Amino acid sequence: MDPDVAACLVELVEKTALLRREMQQKQELEKYAARVARIEQKLTALADRLEATEPALAKSLRTAWARPAMSLAYRNADHQKSQDDN
């Protein structure tokens, strides 16, 4: 997969997971629990399919969903490191 597309996909999953976490903290998640569960099911299916050909991307997607803040922090650190190298 094109690296730019993969990065956009990981960002999309992070943003969705951050929204899910915010809804959970505001106790609004229950209202949308079925929809969020369906999103998680589809994301898991996508990661499972990517596992054979793109294991790093599959891992990144799973991390972005399970721990979006950590995923974002790692991405920001990598970005900062690449800017420091230039």
* CA end-to-end span of the chain: 26
CA 12 – CA 17 distance, rounded (Å) = 9
Give pTM, 2 decimals.
0.81
And the tokens for 42? 């589809």
**CB 23, CB 32: distance < 8 Å:** yes
Model confidence over 8-67: pLDDT tens digits?
A: 999 999 999 999 999 999 999 999 999 999 999 999 999 999 999 999 999 999 999 999
